[in-house]
Amino acid sequence: MGNIRGKHTPIFFLFLLPSMFAFTIIIIIPLIMGVYYSFTDWNAVPGTPINWVGLDNYIAMFSDVTFLHSFIVTIVFSAISIVLINFLAFMFALLVTAKLKLANLYRAGFFLPNLIGGIVLGYIWFFIFNNAIPALGSAAGSDFFSQSFLGNRYTSLFAMIIVTTWQMAGYIMMIYVAAIQSVPVSLLEAAQIDGAKYYQRLKHILMPLIAPAFTITLFLTLVNTFRMFDVNFALTAGGPSGIFMGQALRTTELLALNIFNTAHTFNDQAQGQARAIIFFILLLIISLVQVYFNKRKEIEA
Amino acid sequence: MTRGKRRNMWLEILAIVLFLIFMLPFVIILMNAAKPTLLVISEPLAFPENPLQFFTNAWHIVNDATVRYIPSFISSVIITVGSVALIVLTTSMAAWVLVRTKTRASTAIFLMFVGAIIVPFQVVMFPLISWLASIERTLGIAGTSFRLLGNYPGIMLAYMGFGAPLSIFLYHGFIKGVPVELEEAATIDGCSRARTFFNIVFPILKPISMTVIILNGMWIWNDFLLPRMVLRGGRNDVQTLPIAVASFVGQYVRRWDLILTTTILAMIPIIIVFLFLQKHIIKGMVDGSIK
């Protein structure tokens, strides 16, 4: 076997071929086309000439209020979701590892929403926010809860945060559970015998020991909320409409939905493509920061 | 009662309360899927008068021309199983030769795959659709049963391409820890390189193959945007369950009894699978996220 090191045998090409073929057709070529199209007036209609327009699409994008608005809403949505998801997930993880009688049931229950796709969850919660909660609100005589959450720009953004938290908390919980279970029990018991209180053991022993898990969950929730599309599409569809900087727009339209709507609803493919490129660059920056953090952790360790 | 026991009782109560709150949406949906239309709107919180109404609603959905429940379910299964099988086979092969061949080209190809993990579908979707359509026109297969868009070959190829980066990364990490001596012994015994892989190496990869299967299977089963673009959603096009749900909602805006029934029918398969494979699914998803 040593003889194949440093040499490309026929098997090397043969085994690589299927993956490379699919990867080239599905990602590489469309990516190159996409970068090129973002500098043109491409409209996806076969046979029409494609003209080079330089930075026009990018200039139009950055002077467009809806894009700026989507960017801000996405950041607010991600930031609040990340905090809520991780807080709830960590609490769940402590609960299901606390030797409770029905721990396995709780664990499965908290994880259950994660099995179901965002589209289906979005429609389910549409009904809950639009019908179930207002019915409960009017029965209880509450003005706030008898209105649909989806009718107001702030509560409908919060509705999206609730659904996303409900969907992701169980998944993130499992990562914390795995981390907590890798901490030697003897360490926590020794601290308990020494008289350390529960929150002291949590703060000074458990949390520092599972610090790497926090890095993972933080970036996982960041990337997943930043890319959010399905729940946005099914639950609010970007609505309700409202005014931002003097322009009427969809108030809960996140970046991924904004890209989709720019190309489909407003039929501006080249503009949508340019926005997708910026979206990609933002995700690239997030993951480079993550790689940097992980590398630094490895050096410290 | 000792202090520890009392604390555990309070934790147990807290956990039950949180669990019930978490399950409440499912309960509300189940209740309302078993009602006639008007009652869903007027009394969404009441228990159904006749729980068997659910089966009437479900029968309506199964026979609905937009949902096409049975064909959509079968298509979802074909697309998920077919794509995952292709991903497992092709990416394990690719990762193996990338680990065992130590050249600059091999490292460069591996890094290219790793770098592509972060590529979002949005950045390639518009060019991808028009490029697949132009391939169809060039090959003269547009509108035939061999067409790429709205059909199985196109979407499976798309999942092979999009599944490759993460799966190759996972296999690559695992194969690095597999001792090469095993393969050398097989070669001495006269096994060809290809047979060495399929008979000796591939069975050893079982743990990581499970992770790859779970991660890709969950993603593909629930995916929406990619099938929405690649399958197009036309009358004669193949459709998956999430697409079926979305087009049903688009058509029956106020029929919440039927919409909720549709969401339940779309959820049932994955929940059944989860009941049987709970440990594997959780382990696969956690392992995949940590590596």
CA angle A36/A37/A41 to nearest 5° reads 135
Residue B230 placed within a domain: no
pLDDT on residue B3: 66
The answer to whether residue A95 scores a pLDDT higher than 60 is yes
Could you give the CA distance from residue B265 to residue A216 in angstroms, rounded to a whole number?
Answer: 34
pLDDT on residue B2: 67
pLDDT on residue B115: 93
| Beta-carbon count within 10 A of A139 CB | 11
Residue B139 placed within a domain: yes
**What is the pLDDT averaged over residues B160-167?**
97
The answer to whether residue A300 scores a pLDDT higher than 90 is no
Residue A114 CB contacts under 8 Å (≥ 6 apart), including other chains:
A167, A168, A170, A171, B285
For A213-227, what is each residue's pLDDT tens digit?
998 999 999 999 999
**What is the pLDDT averaged over residues B168-182?**
94
CA nearest to A231, candidates A164, A134, A177: A164
Task: Tell me the nearest-neighbour CA distance from B94 into chain A, angstroms.
Answer: 5
| Beta-carbon count within 10 A of A50 CB | 13
A174 contacts in chain B (CB < 8 Å): 282, 285-286
Query: Between residues 209 and 228 of chain B, which touch chain A (CB distance below 8 Å)?
Result: 218, 221-225
B120 touches chain A (CB under 8 A): yes
B255 touches chain A (CB under 8 A): no
Could you give the CA distance from residue A244 to residue A242 in angstroms, rounded to a whole number?
Answer: 7
Chain B interface test: which of A4, A33, A39, A120 (most B C-beta within 10 Å)? A120
3-state SS, chain B, equals CCHHHHHHHHHHHHHHHHHHHHHHHHHHHHHHCCCCHHHHHHCCCCCCCCCCHHHHHHHHHHCCCCCCHHHHHHHHHHHHHHHHHHHHHHHHHHHHHHHHCCCHHHHHHHHHHHHHHHCCHHHHHHHHHHHHHHHHHHHCCCCCCCCCCCCHHHHHHHHHHHHHHHHHHHHHHHHCCCCHHHHHHHHHCCCCHHHHHHHHHHHHCHHHHHHHHHHHHHHHHHCCHHHHHHCCCCCCCCCCHHHHHHHHHHHCCCCHHHHHHHHHHHHHHHHHHHHHHHHHHHHHHHHHHHC
CATH of the domain at B130: 1.10.3720.10
Residue B180 placed within a domain: yes
A151-155, B9-13, B134-138, B287-291: range with lowest mean pLDDT? B287-291
Secondary structure letter of residue B231 according to DSSP:
S
What are the backbone angles phi and psi of residue B170, rounded to the nearest 5°?
Answer: -65, -45
pTM of the model: 0.93
Could you give the CA distance from residue B135 to residue B120 in angstroms, rounded to a whole number?
Answer: 23
Could you give the CA distance from residue B53 to residue B31 in angstroms, rounded to a whole number?
Answer: 10
Q: What is the dihedral of CA A13, A18, A23, A28, to 10 degrees?
A: 50
Question: Alpha helix locations (H) across B101-151?
Answer: 104-115, 121-139
pLDDT on residue B81: 98
Residue B111 placed within a domain: yes
The answer to whether residue B27 scores a pLDDT higher than 90 is yes
The answer to whether residue A1 scores a pLDDT higher than 80 is no
Could you give the CA distance from residue B162 to residue B147 in angstroms, rounded to a whole number?
Answer: 20
> What is the total count of domains within chain B?
1
Q: How confident is the model at residue B192 (pLDDT cuts 50, 70, 90)?
A: confident
| Residue with tokens 């194969």, as numbered in its chain | B175
The answer to whether residue A4 scores a pLDDT higher than 70 is no
Higher pLDDT, B112 or B36: B112
**By residue range, what is the domain housing residue B179?**
76-218
3-state secondary structure of A140: coil
pLDDT on residue A239: 85
For B51-100, what is each residue's pLDDT tens digit?
899 999 999 999 988 888 999 999 999 999 999 999 999 999 999 999 99
Mean pLDDT of chain A: 92
Closest partner CB to B157 (pick from A20, A25, A269): A25
Question: Alpha helix locations (H) across A38-152?
Answer: 56-62, 65-96, 103-111, 118-127, 133-139, 143-146
Residue B235 placed within a domain: no
Q: Are B109 and A30 in contact (CB < 8 Å)?
A: no
CA nearest to A11, candidates B167, B195, B206, B205: B195
ipTM for this prediction: 0.92
Residue B6 placed within a domain: no
3-state secondary structure of B101: coil
Closest chain B residue to the Cα of A212, Cα to Cα? B290
**What is the pLDDT averaged over residues A232-245?**
93
Chain A interface test: which of B7, B119, B123, B281 (most A C-beta within 10 Å)? B123
pLDDT on residue A92: 96
For A145-177, what is each residue's pLDDT tens digit?
999 999 999 999 999 999 999 999 999 999 999
Could you give the CA distance from residue A225 to residue A287 in angstroms, rounded to a whole number?
Answer: 14
Q: Can you say whether the dihedral through the CA atoms of A284, A286, A291, A296 is positive or negative?
A: positive
pLDDT on residue A2: 42
Say what percent of chain B tops pLDDT 70. Answer: 98
